Amino acid sequence: MEKIEILEGRQRQVFEKQEGQGALDIACETTSLSGSVSQRACVFCGSRVVLYPVADALHIVHGPIGCAAYTWDIRGAVSSGPELHRMSFSTDLKEMDVIYGGEKKLYKSLIELIDQYQPKAAFIYSTCIIGLIGDDIDAVCKKVAQEKGIPVLPVHSEGFKGTKKDGYKAACDALMKVVGTGSTEGIGKYSINILGEFNLAGEAWIIKRYYEEMGIEVVATMTGDGRVDDIRRSHGASLNIVQCSGSMVKLAKEMESKYGIPYLRVSYFGIEDMSKALYDVAKHFSDRPEIMDAAKALVKREVSSLYPELQKFRKELEGKKAAIYVGGAFKAFSLIKALGSVGMSVVLAGSQTGNKDDYEGLREMCDEGTVIVDDSNPVELSKFVLEKEADLLIGGVKERPIAYKLGIGFCDHNHERKIPLAGFEGMYNFIKEVYNSVMSPVWQFAPRKGGLS
């Protein structure tokens, strides 16, 4: 096979696990190299994906049209009620606005929209050029908030001011301004907020149902199927549970320091991690043992029905190899465990935004020979998929067609999942999807497989 090169300057972001190797000196949390065909996005993207599921808020993108157009209803964050978040609002800035400033246009847009839709709050996203032309969006937001009596929140998400992670931070800053503005009356002691769960394909509903079955009150989910009024009173909960490490830990930490609410990091993917997410919460509320009893009963019931199903898949999937390239590294941990439970190994594990600890964790979990990458690109992904003979790639929208061109199975574990992959039922769905894709007869026709060509 012809050799595929790794971009010079990226060599410290790609490692292969080997025997006797010390801790990885991986150069992550850096900006991408200029000229790289990176799979990463920008600050705005980070803020937008975190906040957009708040369904009864107005989300207005302040900038030229593109940023609003590309993020119009692309994430499949489901709402059980209002669907204002599924519309696309933009100040659609023009040349004159760039020269003279867009504040007036933003103000007018906000007034028009708030009058029309009566939202519970409004989020104003700054895009790249807002950071350059110097619009004082804080002042506009303040003015409109006073006039209309709803929270109007600037989100400082200028695209170039960092990575997607900085966008998560900007989103958390905006949310933190909403938290604590409502009454906590009636919230009991055994209560939680679910953070970092975006209700893709209805996943938050599954998680919420589990906790409620354990006798726990869920005050707010942030932000899946999110409601402004719930977020306002979320400081009344006793515990925050945080999924999606990158996006929401900051909010949890701030709620801890301001309101004394402790937090737990969890994951809902795979049997092991899902069970742990329930047990950890039960342990936190150990003064009421019924909660742990309920958690155990729930896990027992779910696992006993799920396990035999997984065994059927395992027969065929045992020994198959997967490559994982996801946004946050925390998800990769869960996926490695979940695939392991049906006998699949992971030959590549990477993320767009992981940190040193994440990659060290990955190294510890993986077998020898596994490639660990930060901020990868299509050349590297193809190279390792071929060299390591992966049967499956797990990634997002830009990775899907690469897998298909190489003639291997694919599973979208990102915005475009169509069925819930979280929880016990999600684990079944996930493995079924992996099974359907990996075992599909179509791959035999791929010329590379030397089959029917």
Partner 1 sequence: MEREALTINPAKTCQPIGAMYAALGIHGCLPHSHGSQGCCSYHRSTLTRHYKEPVMAATSSFTEGASVFGGQANLVTAIDNIFTVYEPDIIAVHSTCLSETIGDDLQQIATKAKDDGKVPEGKYVIYAPTPSFVGSHVTGYGNMVQAMAEQFAVSTGETLDQVNIAAGWMEPSDMREIKRIAKEMEVTVRMFPDTSDVLDAPQTGKHVFYPKGGITIPELKSTGDSKFTVALGCFSGEPGGVALEKKCKVPFQTEDLPIGLRATDRCLMTLSKAAGVKIPQSITDERGRLLDVMTDMEQYFSGKKVALFGDPDHLIPLTEFLIDLNMKPVHIVSGTPGKRFEQRMKAILEDTVPEANVKNGPQADMFLLHQWIKNEPVDLLIGNTYGKYIARDEDIPFVRFGFPIVDRIGHSYFPSVGYMGGLRLVEKILGVLMDRQDRDAPEESFELVM
Span interacting with partner 1, options 17-25, 144-152, 199-207, 376-384, rule CB under 8 A? 376-384
Instruction: Kindly state the tokens that stand for 28.
Output: 């992550």
What's at 293, amino acid-wise? D
Q: Considering only residues 422 through 441, tell me which ones interact with partner 1, judged by CB under 8 A.
A: none
Indicate the pairing of strand 57-62 with strand 89-90. Answer: parallel
Q: How far is the CB of 70 from partner 1 (least distance, A)?
A: 4
Whichever of 18 and 444 has its CB closer to partner 1, that residue is 444
Whichever of 360 and 412 has its CB closer to partner 1, that residue is 412
Helix and strand totals (H; E) in the chain: 17, 14
Residue 218 interacts with partner 1 (CB under 8 A)? no
> Which one of residues 77, 113, 153, 366 is an interface residue with partner 1 (CB under 8 A)?
113
Whichever of 104 and 300 has its CB closer to partner 1, that residue is 104
Q: Considering only residues 123 through 182, tell me which ones interact with partner 1, judged by CB under 8 A.
A: 127-129, 131-133, 159-163
Residue 97 interacts with partner 1 (CB under 8 A)? yes
Phi–psi pair at 24, nearest 5 degrees: -70, 135
Peptide bond between residue 223 and the one before it cis (omega within 30 degrees of 0)? yes
> Which one of residues 39, 79, 193, 345 is an interface residue with partner 1 (CB under 8 A)?
39
CA distance 262 to 355: 23
CA distance 339 to 390: 13
CA distance 34 to 215: 52
Instruction: Kindly state the tokens that stand for 311.
Output: 């065994």
CA distance 366 to 347: 8
> Which one of residues 26, 28, 43, 277 is an interface residue with partner 1 (CB under 8 A)?
43
Whether the CB-CB separation of 164 and 46 falls below 8 Å is answered with yes
Q: How far is the CB of 243 from partner 1 (least distance, A)?
A: 23
What residues are paired with 394 via a beta bridge? 324, 411
Q: Considering only residues 51 through 90, tell me which ones interact with partner 1, judged by CB under 8 A.
A: 60, 63-72, 87-90
> Which one of residues 18, 100, 112, 318 is an interface residue with partner 1 (CB under 8 A)?
112
Residue 279 interacts with partner 1 (CB under 8 A)? no
Residue 409 interacts with partner 1 (CB under 8 A)? no
Binding residue count for partner 1, defined by CB under 8 A: 76
